[in-house]
Amino acid sequence: MGAILPRHVAIIMDGNGRWAERRGLARHAGHREGVPVVRMCVEECVRHGIGALTLFAFSSENWGRPEAEVANLMTLFFDALEREVDDLDRNGVRLRVIGDRHALSVRLQGRVADAERRTAGNTRLALQIAVSYGGRWDIVQAARRLAAEVGAGSLRAADIDETRFGGALALGDVPDPDLFIRTGGERRISNFLLWNLAYTELWFTDALWPDFDAAALGAALEDYAGRKRRFGRA
Ligand code: FPP
């Protein structure tokens, strides 16, 4: 593989439902099958020395899915957090959930806060799981936060620049993703990190998320290593 590694990889994990439906299984079987793939990505990032990984697990729009599927996904997140937090901690992973966490059950909010607290001091991999997240929601919450500071007199509107605004976003202290991966065949951003993806290299694969493996991730990294990044410059 090329020597140039992304510092931050962002992934839309798509295709669980289709993976299950093709096998005549309920959609939640596909989501369940997606959990070990999350684990593989975390392990591979740690192994390669990639410093940050952000995964889109549940969008603001996903609340519109059938109640049973939403409930199943929330249970899956809860159980996975409970099961994995020790290993994440041991491997130096700092876990954070980004998104409108007030939309989550109090029980899940508690579990998230606990996992974040336990792993807060880790520095090997910054792992962000986006749950109840939308790129537009993120921009609006940043605007609201800065507006409150202006209202309180602690910030001048004229001092709001791109750095300041970016710092108020959910990924405020994480560098922008260098590489974006979407599985499942669709070629769109779907309201993921709208601000942060401005200059990110995009990579799409038809592989459904449960079929995405270390070799496929390696292919994405290899492709990235060959890209010439110009950030709008000549
Ligand atoms: C998209 O597939 C996937 C999701 C909405 C859920 C992603 C969740 C996991 C991979 C489970 C594990 C996550 C964590 C953080 C432990 P889809 O249902 O939209 O698939 P489709 O496009 O085939 O319908």
- pLDDT at residue 1, as a whole number: 45
For ligand 1, whether the C-beta of 34 sits within 6 Å is yes
The DSSP bridge partners found for residue 181 are 11, 203
- pLDDT at residue 229, as a whole number: 87
- pLDDT at residue 233, as a whole number: 87
For ligand 1, whether the C-beta of 62 sits within 6 Å is yes
**Residue whose pair of structure tokens reads 């010439």 in the numeric block:** 228
Which atom of ligand 1 sits closest to the CA of residue 77?
16
What CATH number does domain 8-225 carry, 3.30.420.40, 3.30.70.20, 3.40.1180.10, 3.90.550.10? 3.40.1180.10
In this prediction, the residues of the chain whose per-residue pLDDT falls under 70 are 1-3
> Which residues are part of the catalytic machinery?
14, 62
For ligand 1, whether the C-beta of 14 sits within 6 Å is yes
Calculate how far, in angstroms, residue 34's C-alpha sits from the geometric centre of ligand 1: 7
Calculate how far, in angstroms, residue 227's C-alpha sits from the geometric centre of ligand 1: 28
- In terms of Cβ atoms closer than 10 Å to its own Cβ (0-12, 13-18, 19+), residue 61 is exposed
- pLDDT at residue 82, as a whole number: 95
Parse the chain into domains and list their residue ranges.
8-225
Distance CA(139)–CA(170), nearest Å, equals: 9
- In terms of Cβ atoms closer than 10 Å to its own Cβ (0-12, 13-18, 19+), residue 101 is middle
For ligand 1, whether the C-beta of 122 sits within 6 Å is no
